[in-house]
Amino acid sequence: MLRFSVRDDRCSRCGLCAADCPSRIIEQRGEELPVVAAENEGNCLECQHCLAICPTAAISVFGLNPADSLPVSADAWPRLEQMTHLLRGRRSVRRYQDRDVDPELIAGLLATVAHAPTGVNNRSLTFTLIDDRGKLARLREKVMAALVEASRTGRIPQRYAYIEGAIAAHVEHGADVLFRGAPHVLIVSAPPHSPCATEDVAIALSYFELLAQSAGLGTVWCGLLKLALESVPALKSLVDLPPDHHYYPMLFGHPAVHFARTVQRDGAARVKRPAVDAPAG
């Protein structure tokens, strides 16, 4: 239930909640308290904008207490220079220490990633986590064994042939090109009915990556693991991944490498400024 309520002693009747409601279901007339008509409750996107925007903490929705929210102010945000440094200095990490990440740290990261935006506030993402390096080692063995067998019997689809290089590296040199020795993996997935399934997955993993690196962890988007799961779909059951979900994996852990400086890609962005006033078509 919506459980939209407003404290009369705190509400200033400013109208901000009504003006900012994406679904336009909050009504506020003159000196009356803001309300949501019962017949409109089903149109709520559950975004909590009303709780967040109220300057006097007068609004509660879904039984949530605004006092339990973090205060937002300019002083709370990283400065542009800090964010610039983080984004320019972020590197994909392919060498990891052989130790687990603190479970409480992982839980905190995922609790924050749950705030990542999703299309139409759908929020149907699933976070599949392997947070024990022993378990990941067993997964690595099973995945590589299945890939080797699929390659030997010619069952790797041609469109996934790139995975053959990782298989050869494993067979010929014992190299872990696929999992990179990482202790943990996070797979974010979304059901096919999600309005923006692929985008939601990418946004959530981007949030996780930047948070993880801010916490001193290393990450890498693991396209090879996705190729492996697509090459041998039966492997998806090992990570409890529904066969029809959109998904992407990310490896993470304590890095065994330190990068001394950022790279230089300032000229890599191609900027176009279309003439939007031109006739369509």
Phi and psi torsions of 50, nearest 5°: -65, -40
5-68 folds as Alpha-Beta Plaits (3.30.70)
Domain boundaries, the chain: 5-68, 83-253
Directed axis angle between helix 133-152 and helix 223-231, to 10°? 50
Q: Which residues of the chain have pLDDT under 50?
A: none
**Cα 277 to Cα 127: distance, rounded to the nearest angstrom:** 43
Lookup result for tokens 């392919």? 94
Q: What is the pLDDT of residue 128?
A: 98
Please say whether the beta carbons of 83 and 117 come within 8 A: no
CATH architecture of 83-253: 3-Layer(aba) Sandwich (3.40)
| Per-residue pLDDT reduced to its tens digit, 123-132 | 999 999 999 9
Q: What is the pLDDT of residue 267?
A: 87
Q: What is the pLDDT of residue 279?
A: 76
Select from 275, 276, 128 the least CA-distant residue to 189.
Answer: 128
Select from 250, 180, 178, 198 the least CA-distant residue to 221.
Answer: 250
Q: What is the pLDDT of residue 278?
A: 72
3-state helix, strand and coil shares in percent for the chain, rounded to the nearest 5: 40, 10, 45
- Report the predicted TM-score, pTM, of the whole model to 2 decimal places: 0.93
